Amino acid sequence: MNPPHSAYVDESMRVSSGLYLMAAVLVPPTYAETCRTVLRGLLLRRQRRLHWRDENDKRRVQLIDAVGALRPCGIVIVGTGLDRARQERARRKCMERLLWELGQRYVGDVIFERRHSELDIRDKEMVEALRGRHAMAPQLRVSWEAPDEEPLLWLPDIVAGAASLAEVGEESYLKALGCGLGVERFPVD
């Protein structure tokens, strides 16, 4: 039997539209190095990582085409009703929903993009609280890594960016990624 997939997670916010998105892209261990090679090949000279918000439209099309060719699968959690003053609450609610969803899939490791150390501590406390309440699958191992060190974290960044645009009517990027990505919406207010 093949080992379980790893889920790489990043978020995007569209505060003006009241949205907090959290994307997870599932990568089988046997496919991880291939994905890393493709992603590193997309870097421009002097670019240390791919980041959706830093790219122009022409470059975004190039990224979407390359990532779409990898046939990504995963899930995007869209929290609606985001209050600008309660972004961390929205993150926790999306994280809880995402971890529950990932526990229903063939996933062993969940790797979140590292933020600030204090914010990562809050995330870790949230995971422990979910474990204590049996609100996430016990087999999930959760960790945090820097996107400069793990190119697979660029995948959910691109997916979250495309999903964010789809939520405001620009669906072409998300559609070009293929049908392997589910989208779940729920209120976070």
- Residue of 69, 14, 67 lying closest to 188 (CA atoms): 14
> Per-residue pLDDT averaged across 1-21, rounded?
93
Measured between alpha carbons, how far is 78 from 94 in angstroms, rounded to an integer?
A: 7
- Partners of residue 13 on adjacent β-strands: 20
Measured between alpha carbons, how far is 29 from 137 in angstroms, rounded to an integer?
A: 20
Measured between alpha carbons, how far is 179 from 174 in angstroms, rounded to an integer?
A: 9
Q: pLDDT tens for residues 110-153?
A: 999 999 999 999 999 999 999 999 999 999 999 999 999 999 99
- Residue of 70, 76, 64 lying closest to 12 (CA atoms): 76
> Per-residue pLDDT averaged across 36-40, rounded?
98
pTM of the model: 0.96
- Residue of 6, 25, 5 lying closest to 161 (CA atoms): 25
Residue 189 reports pLDDT greater than 90: no
What domains can you pick out in the chain, each with its CATH number? 5-187 (3.30.420.10)
Q: pLDDT tens for residues 75-84?
A: 999 999 999 8
* 46 membership: H or E segment, kind and range: none
> Per-residue pLDDT averaged across 9-27, rounded?
96
Structure tokens at 14: 């569209």
Residue 1 reports pLDDT greater than 80: no
Structure tokens at 39: 């992603």
